[in-house]
Amino acid sequence: MEARNVTKRFGGVAALDHCSVEVAPGRVTGLIGPNGSGKTTFFNVLTGYLAADGGDVFVDGAKVARPTPQRLYRLGVVRTFQYARLFPDLTLVEILALAVAKPFLSVFGLRVEGGDRERAMEVLGRLGLRALAARRAGQLSYGQQRLLEFGTTLMAQPRLVLLDEPTAGVNPVMIDILEGHIRRLRTEGVAFLLVEHQLDLVMRLCDTVVVLGRGVPIARGTPDEVSQDPMVLDAYLGG
Amino acid sequence: MRQVTGWGAGRAVVVFGTLLALPFIFSQDWVVDIAFFGLMYAVLAVAWNLIGGYAGYIWLGFITFFGLGAYALTISFQHVVLTSVWSPFLVIIPIGLGLAALSIPVALLLLRVRGATFAVVSLAVLFLAEICASNWTTITNGAEGMGMPTPPIAASLFSRPFYLAMLCLLAVVLLFSWYVLRSRLGLMLFAIRADEERARGLGVPTTTIKVVAFAASCGFAAMAGGIWAYYVGFIFPIFAFSANTMFATVMMVYLGGRGTLWGPLVGALLVAPAQEYLAYTLGNSQLYLIAYAAVFLLVIRFLPRGIVPTVHDSWVRRRARGAVGGSERLVST
Ligand SMILES: Nc1ncnc2c1ncn2[C@@H]1O[C@H](COP(=O)(O)OP(=O)(O)O)[C@@H](O)[C@H]1O
Ligand SMILES: [Mg+2]
């Protein structure tokens, strides 16, 4: 997947300015940068939530015409949100079942099909949430909700997962679980784009790191290269 | 999770058995007349709940389709002599399907906006429809109204066929509502109500799902309108496209419990007969509107979720305190 020359303006101010990033299967690409540098906006464009003012998104070398969240979802591009966003009145199993990509006519089938329930239970088991399967999402702790968010991406058989600060507000045990899953999926060929403030996690996990500064990539390379780049140090220290 | 529990089916049998027996036990015309309006509002409330309760779109143009159904039936029976009381009821089925189809472009236009904007715009649709019906005199005969032919039936039995037809429609719309709740469609509608943007990010085809709920609710409203027009015999734009009917429907859904299966029906059967009775006794004064506003305010203040979820929860809590036995979910909230 590739984003080429993506530009997005909010009332004259360019949140993204000719921003290009490419991700490869089985690789974890880190996207870092100070607050307000456009990371979330970039995610929103890549997942069809925001229409770009310029530039294109490509999946498998083919341009995605008129990207919408649903269309990208069907192409295997799934995301989590920076702030846990879930459906407080639905149960964990229902939320995970909702995330399964199915043909349209399945909407006239059961609320939760047996097969989807099994898969949901399996994912909940892996995340250590199995005992809470019948609870409503609103009853979970914040950390558990974020883990459930991540769980939805596991249901979708994704090819590219975009994670927006997945560890914010999550305790260390859960971060370990999360990291384990990212490593496992990576060996299965899933690509990741990871926005993360915890730099040690980024350095441990990422194959490539892209640094955004005011909507433009100012550096890219391996974690080691990037962490020694004077521009990056400057951008971070200078805010 | 939500299977056909013995409870649910049993309740349906009791409710519908009672409603079926009612016009044979109390055969006075005025009782059946009031009961007819109770059923009509129950149909409207259950149908509105599909889009207003499940999907969370406060669709205040809903009664437009009630009026369109009423006019569609009346217009198609101009200059017809009825040989059977039943034939117009059959025509109501294609009218419902046709108007459901007609509602799809309306849905595609309106469902781009949400929340309060949607509510306001959709109310404008109702007013617009009333203005059109009042002024398009070549088709609707305008404010002078138009009539259905008289059915060949003994005056002493007059209300019963209409009551039974409305009861059938209520059974159908309630069954449909139950089916939606236990299908993936219902799951998606609930997700849309809670957070539509998030639902899009999980691949939910939000537009199509909303249109399905919208069109179904409009189709049922049209059928109810058809039966109503046939029953009252003569219709006017101000009664066919009435904002009072609209707000009454919404209030009943809120009172009973929006987004639940039985709530709208409970709300309608509590309020509509009271309203008809008051209209009977108070005559044409619009005093009941004040009572309405008061009830609505009290509901919002003391029963924000409506009667059915509140009663259900306290019942479950009592049972959980009582003995073993899990908290079976009887109501889908
Ligand atoms: N919906 C929006 N409307 C206006 N400005 C926005 C909107 N979303 C983001 N911005 C602006 O775009 C810039 C980038 O924000 P964001 O993408 O959230 O940065 P990050 O995720 O890197 O912290 C900020 O200046 C922010 O104020
Ligand atoms: Mg952000």
**Domains recognised in chain A with CATH numbers:** 2-76+158-235 (3.40.50.300), 86-144 (no CATH)
Residues of chain A in contact with residue B326, where contact means CB-CB under 8 angstroms, are none
CB A186 within 8 A of CB A28: yes
For A159-213, the pLDDT digits (tens) are 999 999 998 888 888 889 899 999 999 999 999 999 998 888 999 999 999 999 8
Residue of chain A with shortest Cα separation from B207: A70
Supply the pLDDT for residue B4: 53
CB B285 within 8 A of CB B240: no
* Three-state secondary structure string covering A120-177: HHHHHHHCCCHHHCCCEHHHCCHHHHHHHHHHHHHHCCCCEEEEECCCCCCCHHHHHH
> Is the ipTM, as predicted for this complex, more than 0.85?
yes
Residue of chain A with shortest Cα separation from B182: A111
Residues of chain B in contact with residue A82, where contact means CB-CB under 8 angstroms, are none
Supply the pLDDT for residue A237: 54
- How large is the average pLDDT for residues A111-130? 94
Q: What are phi and psi of A122, to 5 degrees?
A: -65, -45
Residue B275 lies in a domain: yes
Report helix, strand or coil for A112.
Answer: coil
How far lies B168's CA from each of B42, B43, B74, B101, B165, in Å?
12, 10, 20, 22, 5
User: Rounded to an integer, what distance in angstroms lies between the CA atom of residue B125 and that of residue B69?
Assistant: 15
Angle at which helices A114-126 and A142-155 pack, to 10 degrees? 130
Specify the DSSP element, H or E, that contains B176: helix B160-181
pLDDT at residue B70 greater than cutoff 70: yes
- How large is the average pLDDT for residues B191-204? 95
Q: How far is the CA of A27 from the centre of ligand 2 (A)?
A: 22
Residue of chain A with shortest Cα separation from B201: A69
Q: How far is the CA of A15 from the centre of ligand 2 (A)?
A: 12
Q: What are phi and psi of B124, to 5 degrees?
A: -60, -35
User: Rounded to an integer, what distance in angstroms lies between the CA atom of residue B282 and that of residue B333?
Assistant: 37
pLDDT at residue B330 greater than cutoff 50: no
Residues, chain A, total?
239
**Cβ of B203 and A156 within 8 Å?**
yes
Q: In terms of residue numbers, what domain contains B20?
A: 6-302
**Cβ of B181 and A111 within 8 Å?**
yes
Q: Which ligand places an atom closest to the C-alpha of A36? A: 1
Q: What are phi and psi of A188, to 5 degrees?
A: -85, 5
A202 CB within 8 Å of a chain B CB: no
Q: What rounded mean pLDDT belongs to chain A?
A: 90
Nearest Cβ partner for B191 among A68, A98, A113 = A98
pLDDT at residue B333 greater than cutoff 60: no
Tokens of A98: 């909702």
User: What is the model's pTM?
Assistant: 0.91
Residues of chain A in contact with residue B205, where contact means CB-CB under 8 angstroms, are 70, 104, 107
Between A1-10, A79-88, B149-158, the lowest mean confidence (pLDDT) is in B149-158
Supply the pLDDT for residue A73: 93
Residue B312 lies in a domain: no
Supply the pLDDT for residue B332: 46
Chain B residues 210-269 with CB within 8 Å of chain A: 212
Q: Which of A41-55, A215-229, B210-224 has the highest mean pLDDT?
A: B210-224
State what percent of residues in chain B have pLDDT above 90: 65
Chain A residues 123-142 with CB within 8 Å of chain B: 134
Nearest Cβ partner for A85 among B198, B204, B205 = B198
Q: Whose CA is nearest to atom 9 of ligand 1?
A: A41
State what percent of residues in chain A have pLDDT above 70: 97
Neighbours of B86 (CB within 10 A): 11
Nearest Cβ partner for A112 among B1, B195, B199 = B1
Between A97-111, B55-69, B150-164, the lowest mean confidence (pLDDT) is in B150-164
**Cβ of B187 and A108 within 8 Å?**
no
**Cβ of A90 and B187 within 8 Å?**
yes
Residue B313 lies in a domain: no
pLDDT at residue B312 greater than cutoff 60: yes
Residues of chain B in contact with residue A102, where contact means CB-CB under 8 angstroms, are 184
Supply the pLDDT for residue B283: 67
Residue B321 lies in a domain: no
CATH code of B282's domain: 1.10.3470
**Closest ligand 1 atom, CA of A34?**
22
pLDDT at residue B2 greater than cutoff 60: no
pLDDT at residue B325 greater than cutoff 70: no
Residues, chain B, total?
333
Q: In the structure, what pLDDT confidence band is assigned to residue B45 with cuts at 50, 70 and 90? A: very high
Supply the pLDDT for residue A194: 94
Residue B315 lies in a domain: no
Supply the pLDDT for residue A239: 46
User: Rounded to an integer, what distance in angstroms lies between the CA atom of residue B117 and that of residue B136?
Assistant: 28
Where are the alpha helices (H) located in chain A, listed in sequence order?
A: 39-46, 69-74, 92-98, 114-126, 142-155, 172-187, 199-205, 223-227, 230-238
pLDDT at residue B329 greater than cutoff 60: no
Q: In the structure, what pLDDT confidence band is assigned to residue B84 with cuts at 50, 70 and 90? A: confident
Total domains in chain B come to 1
**Cβ of A70 and B203 within 8 Å?**
yes
Q: In the structure, what pLDDT confidence band is assigned to residue B331 with cuts at 50, 70 and 90? A: very low
Residue B19 lies in a domain: yes
Higher pLDDT, B303 or B158: B303
Q: In the structure, what pLDDT confidence band is assigned to residue B28 with cuts at 50, 70 and 90? A: confident
The ligand 1 site (C-beta within 6 Å) comprises: A 10, 15, 33, 35-41
Q: Indicate left, alpha or beta for B178 from its phi (over 0: left) and psi (-120 to 50: alpha).
A: alpha
Tokens 């059928």 correspond to what residue?
A: B223
- How large is the average pLDDT for residues B185-213? 96
Residue B290 lies in a domain: yes
Residue B307 lies in a domain: no
Q: What are phi and psi of B24, to 5 degrees?
A: -90, -25
- How far does the CA of residue A89 sit from the closest CA of chain B (Å)? 8
- How large is the average pLDDT for residues A9-14? 88
- How far does the CA of residue A206 sit from the closest CA of chain B (Å)? 24
**Closest ligand 1 atom, CA of A43?**
17
- How large is the average pLDDT for residues B292-310? 86
Return the CA Rg of chain B.
20
